[in-house]
Amino acid sequence: MFATLRTIFDRTLAAFVILLLASLTVIIVMGVVYRKMGWSLVWYDEVASIMLAWLTYYGAALAALKRAHIGFPGMVNAMRPQFRIPAVLFGEACVIGFFALLAWFGYEVLVILEGDTMVSLPGISTQLTQSVIPIGAVLFIIAQLLSLPEVLEQARGKGVLDAEEKQLQEMLQ
C-alpha cells in the first residue's frame, strides 16, 4: 500500500509539474508573439514569474521524492554502518524541520496578504499566487517521508545511493 501511495503521489505531482511547464511555455510563446506583432499582454510578465515560482516549488517536491536534490550520500556512506541510520534520521529531521518552518511562515504570509490582488489581474488574489509556499513545503515534507523507507533500507545495506547512481542501476537491470 505504501508503494502504491508513493506511485500515486509521484504520478500526480509529475503530471502537475508537466502541466505547469507546458502552460508556462505557452504563456511565454504567446507573450513573445504578441510583442512581435506590436501588441502587449499586460499580465504576461506577472503571470510568467508566478508560474515559474510554482514550477520551482512543485518541481522541488518531485525532486525530493526521487531524492534528486542536493545531498551528501558519500558522507553517510563513509560512516560505519551503525552510524548511518542516525545520520540519515538527523538529516531528515533537519530537512523536515526546515520545510515545516517554511510552511508555517508561508501560511503567515498568506494571512498578511489577505485582500491583496495581482497588479495586472486584479481579479486574482495574491493569496492564491503565494499559496505555493506553504503547499510546496508540505508537499516536500510528504515526498521526504514517502522516500524515507527506501533511504533507510539503503543505509542499512551497502549505502545510500544518489539519484544518478539509482538511475544507472535501474537502467542496467
List pLDDT tens digits, range 50-82. Answer: 999 999 999 999 999 998 887 778 788 888 888
Q: What type of residue sits at position 73?
A: P
- Residue 111's Cα: distance from chain center in Å? 23
pTM: 0.89
Bridge partners (DSSP) of residue 125 are 117
pLDDT tens-digit readout, 77-120: 888 888 999 999 999 999 999 999 999 999 999 999 999 999 89
Half-sphere exposure of 67 (CA within 13 A, CB side): 24
Q: What's the burial of 22, exposed, middle or buried (CB within 10 Å: 0-12/13-18/19+)?
A: exposed
CA distance 164 to 170: 10
Nearest-angstrom CA–CA distance, 47 and 24: 9
Q: For residue 17, count other CB atoms closer than 10 A to its CB.
A: 19
Reading phi first (left if > 0) and then psi (alpha if -120 to 50, else beta), residue 38 is in left
pLDDT per position as a tens digit, 108-159 = 999 999 999 998 999 999 999 999 999 999 999 999 999 999 989 888 888 7
